[in-house]
Amino acid sequence: MTYVVTDNCIACKYTDCVEVCPVDCFYEGENMLVIHPDECIDCGVCEPECPADAIRPDTEPDMDEWVEFNRKYSQVWPVIITRKDPLPEATERDGETGKREKYFSEVPGEGG
């Protein structure tokens, strides 16, 4: 099992999760985070830390697509280990549907 970041992180990018990760397996894009599924040790400490409820175990239905999505971007985005402020629109975008189609950016974040 592994944990993955899903579309509710897009346009929110809360980083509470990165501070509790014992193996630094979060990677930062311009407007979301991903988890490297091969680095995640399945401890689960990140899941309850996410204010947007965007972190899910891969054992939930229909998570295969998100595992591959997280794998793809964790290989090209920089690692993030330090908590940062969420995006300015995080509160209004939290829970919005269709965020991947509307807002997702492949651009890497700053990391750090």
Distances (CA, A) of 40 to 25, 44, 57, 60, 96: 6, 9, 11, 16, 27
Distance (Å, whole) CA 44 – CA 29: 21
List pLDDT tens digits, range 12-36: 999 999 999 999 999 999 999 999 9
Tell me how crowded residue 49 is: count the other CB atoms within 10 A of its CB.
16
Give long-range contacts, CB 8 A cutoff, 24+ apart: 87-91.
Answer: 87/11, 87/12, 87/13, 87/31, 89/11, 89/12, 90/11, 90/12, 90/13, 90/14, 90/52
Whole-number percent of the chain with pLDDT over 90: 99
Joined tokens for residue 63:
């998570």
List pLDDT tens digits, range 44-63: 999 999 999 999 999 999 99
The model's pTM: 0.96
pLDDT class of 1 with cuts at 50, 70, 90: confident
Which domains, and CATH codes, for the chain? 3-81 (3.30.70.20)
